[in-house]
Chain A
Amino acid sequence: MLKRTLFWLVTLIVMLIVIGPLLWIFLTAFKNPNDIFTTELTKLFFFPPTLDNFDRLFTRYPFWFNLGNTAIISVVSTIAVILVAMPAAYSFARWNTGGGHLLFVTISTRMFPGVVAAIPFFIVFRALGLLDTHAGLISLYVYFNTSFATFLLYGFFREVPAELEQAAMIDGYGRMETFRKVIFPLILPGVAVTSVFCLIWSWNEFFYAFLFTRRAARTVNVLISSFWGSIEVQYGPMAAGAAIAILPTLLAAWLMQRYIIRGLTFGAVKG
């Protein structure tokens, strides 16, 4: 009995620690400034909800515009990543092309310190006029996510037995047809999982977005971070913006819970 109580007590505390702060974003989003900057504990939890923060966010700041930028950049870069990574992963998994060396080079780009690439890209983007454009940021995210996508898809492709493919080819399919009609339907779930991860990485990315965008291509994360300025800190709009911006990622985390661990470990642990 004592053991059972202890089990549930610890579980409850851990859940509170994990969920509490996330809920706090949503609570704060509906508070007026007086309730945000209060020193009365009860007021922190019980307050008259207001939509003022959302109102200010939508009318005074280009929130929807920036959210749109984030969405465009994430979606386009993800599509490009899959188009590059899928054939490559197939080649690596099926023929071990390059004897593992090329695969290593590919994965090492993911581990590149962001700052290493940031300096040269900044210079060349400035010269090409790509600073503060969608195309610039998209190309960076493609580079950044391709290695991850290739490796994750590599794991999924390896689960497809080679015999299936050979059977299809005996039936007279060419390489392209075999891939399109036999392999692709089988790894579709893997492609979906990989796409969602790439979407989320691009959605969450801050360092490059912060360095490479100012106005026209500014992403929502950069807008949210700008509320934490040196003059005043606007917690209300910040929380309102954050509440909306993290919704897609929370939803994805909930729907993909079976695959999160697999994705985060590059396919090594099948959670």
Chain B
Amino acid sequence: MDTKSARDKFNHAAAEAQVYASSRKPTIWEILTSERFFKWTLLIPLVILLLIFMLYPLFYCLYYSFHQWGMQGNALFVGLDNYRHMLWDEAFLIAFGRTLEVLAICIIVELLAGLGLASMWNREFRGQNVLRGFALLPLLVAPLVLSLLWNFMLEYDFGAVNQIFAAIGLPKVYWWSPGIALYTICAITIWQWFPFSVFVLLAGLRSLPRDVFEAAKVDGASEWYTFRRLTLPMLSPLIMIIVVLRAMWLIRLFDPLYGTTRGGVKTELLDWIVYRTSFVIFDVGYGSAMAVFSLFLTIALCSIMFHLLMKALGVIK
């Protein structure tokens, strides 16, 4: 490998030397595709995109989070007032707490369902490919459309779910009442996303080494013991990936709210309150402050996720 890369460096040095030997200036194209700069040339479009679409909103939000501004007229510098207000704003704190609650409920239920179904389906059986095909369907359907669908299916009188409940003797439920609506939204989200953890964990289970489990069986270890001491530890990298990825998506839950409660009946979450403050009340300064808070939260999660992904791809040990 070393001799090869040395040779290919040599080839290129030779080609570049020709350009210099012909005593003309290299064209811009030649410089850009030269061995030294080519890797950076490839990144030019990406870097431009990041500069425009990442740095601009970031600085903008930081700037306005220190100002009071209603989308018109001049912004008034207020220092840390927006952040101070945030700490005492009950609506914000409740929305934040609710987001954490949704996060915990969804991730735990999805993981349990995932572990259960994955260990059940971890065998060869007829129709397993058809089953996978169907089970993965909801994952790619627009969350907004699904929320509208569930809103309709969970309607008190006409909704299919309550009618089926009544038919099998269960009491009808006011799915969108203040005490329950938040959990209904959790249930919708779980319904869409549990196949994700099932099939991630199933992929993990299928790749586990067989011999260890056979050895455990020979030694007379119970199924539960094998699961707890062998399967779970070996799956833990995947479980971490599921937890972090789902946490990142769940923090930004917005579409399921729009199709159902629109932030009413005690279901206002973090993204919704930022949206409402900025685009309904037009308090851009305060909205920006909350957005910055939300950003720091996800950046922290993101760095954990990045580390896990690089590990899974084998880039770092």
Interface residues of A in 155-170 (CB under 8 A from B): 155, 158, 162-163, 166-167, 169-170
Q: Given the interface contacts A39-B157, A261-B203, does A210 sit within 8 Å of B191 by beta carbon?
A: no
Answer yes or no: B254 CB below 8 A from chain A CBs. Answer: yes
1/0 contact string of A80-99 vs chain B (CB within 8 Å): 00011101101100110110
- A84 close to B46 (CB less than 8 A): yes
CA distance A31 to B252 in the complex (A): 35
CB distance from A57 to the nearest CB of B (A): 14
Answer yes or no: A260 CB below 8 A from chain B CBs. Answer: yes
- B142 close to A38 (CB less than 8 A): no
CA distance A233 to B153 in the complex (A): 13
Answer yes or no: B131 CB below 8 A from chain A CBs. Answer: yes
- B278 close to A119 (CB less than 8 A): yes
Provide the residues of chain A in CB contact with B142, threshold 8 Å.
203-204, 206, 221, 245-246, 249
Q: Given the interface contacts A17-B191, A87-B43, A143-B53, does A260 sit within 8 Å of B136 by beta carbon?
A: yes
- B120 close to A115 (CB less than 8 A): no
Find B131's partner among A11, A38, A84, A118 (CB 8 Å cutoff). A11
CB distance from A174 to the nearest CB of B (A): 7
Interface residues of A in 186-217 (CB under 8 A from B): 200, 203-204, 206-207, 210-211
CA distance A88 to B292 in the complex (A): 28
- A170 close to B56 (CB less than 8 A): no
Provide the residues of chain B in CB contact with A19, threshold 8 Å.
134, 137
Answer yes or no: B158 CB below 8 A from chain A CBs. Answer: yes
Answer yes or no: B76 CB below 8 A from chain A CBs. Answer: no
Find A207's partner among B33, B255, B287, B299 (CB 8 Å cutoff). B255
- A117 close to B275 (CB less than 8 A): no
In the complex, identify which listed stretch (A48-56, A61-69, A105-113) lies at the interface while the others stay far away.
A105-113
Answer yes or no: A240 CB below 8 A from chain B CBs. Answer: no
- What's the dominant secondary structure at chain A's contact region? helix
Find A21's partner among B150, B199, B200 (CB 8 Å cutoff). B150
CA distance A154 to B43 in the complex (A): 13
Answer yes or no: B111 CB below 8 A from chain A CBs. Answer: no
- A265 close to B245 (CB less than 8 A): yes
CA distance A103 to B312 in the complex (A): 15
Q: Given the interface contacts A116-B292, A150-B46, does A270 sit within 8 Å of B203 by beta carbon?
A: yes
- B157 close to A246 (CB less than 8 A): no
Provide the residues of chain A in CB contact with B221, threshold 8 Å.
none
Provide the residues of chain A in CB contact with B157, threshold 8 Å.
39
Answer yes or no: B265 CB below 8 A from chain A CBs. Answer: no
CB distance from B120 to the nearest CB of A (A): 7
Interface size on B, residues (CB 8 A): 109
Q: Given the interface contacts A114-B252, A269-B241, does A264 sit within 8 Å of B149 by beta carbon?
A: no
- B8 close to A269 (CB less than 8 A): no
Q: Given the interface contacts A37-B158, A111-B299, A261-B199, does A267 sit within 8 Å of B46 by beta carbon?
A: no
Answer yes or no: B20 CB below 8 A from chain A CBs. Answer: no
Provide the residues of chain A in CB contact with B303, threshold 8 Å.
104
CA distance A239 to B248 in the complex (A): 30
Provide the residues of chain B in CB contact with A39, threshold 8 Å.
157-158, 163
- B153 close to A21 (CB less than 8 A): yes
Answer yes or no: A22 CB below 8 A from chain B CBs. Answer: yes
Chain B residue nearest to A203 (CB atoms) is: B142
Answer yes or no: B215 CB below 8 A from chain A CBs. Answer: no
Answer yes or no: A231 CB below 8 A from chain B CBs. Answer: no
CA distance A108 to B61 in the complex (A): 16
CA distance A239 to B38 in the complex (A): 51
Answer yes or no: A79 CB below 8 A from chain B CBs. Answer: no
Provide the residues of chain B in CB contact with A112, threshold 8 Å.
54, 57, 295, 298
Provide the residues of chain A in CB contact with B54, threshold 8 Å.
105, 109, 112, 143
1/0 contact string of B156-199 vs chain A (CB within 8 Å): 01101001101100000000000000000000000100011001
Chain B residue nearest to A91 (CB atoms) is: B42
- B288 close to A106 (CB less than 8 A): no
CA distance A2 to B312 in the complex (A): 39
CA distance A74 to B155 in the complex (A): 33
9 closest residue pairs by CB, A with B: A268-B312, A120-B60, A143-B53, A204-B142, A87-B42, A91-B42, A88-B46, A120-B57, A116-B291
> What are 17 contact pairs spanning A and B, CB under 8 A?
A11-B121, A19-B134, A21-B150, A87-B45, A91-B39, A104-B306, A111-B301, A113-B291, A115-B275, A115-B278, A117-B53, A139-B53, A142-B49, A143-B52, A163-B4, A204-B144, A245-B142
> Which residues from chain B sit less than 8 Å from chain A, CB to CB?
1, 4-5, 7-8, 11-12, 15, 33, 35, 38-43, 45-47, 49-50, 52-54, 56-58, 60-61, 64, 71, 117, 120-121, 125, 129, 131-146, 148-153, 157-158, 160, 163-164, 166-167, 191, 195-196, 199-200, 203-204, 238, 241, 245, 248, 251-252, 254-255, 258-259, 270-271, 274-275, 278-279, 284, 287-288, 291-292, 294-295, 298-299, 301-303, 305-306, 308-310, 312-315
- Inter-chain pairs besides A108-B299, A163-B4, A260-B199, 18 sampled, C-beta below 8 Å: A18-B135, A39-B163, A41-B166, A97-B43, A98-B43, A143-B54, A166-B8, A169-B12, A210-B258, A221-B145, A224-B148, A228-B259, A239-B149, A249-B141, A253-B140, A264-B196, A265-B312, A268-B309
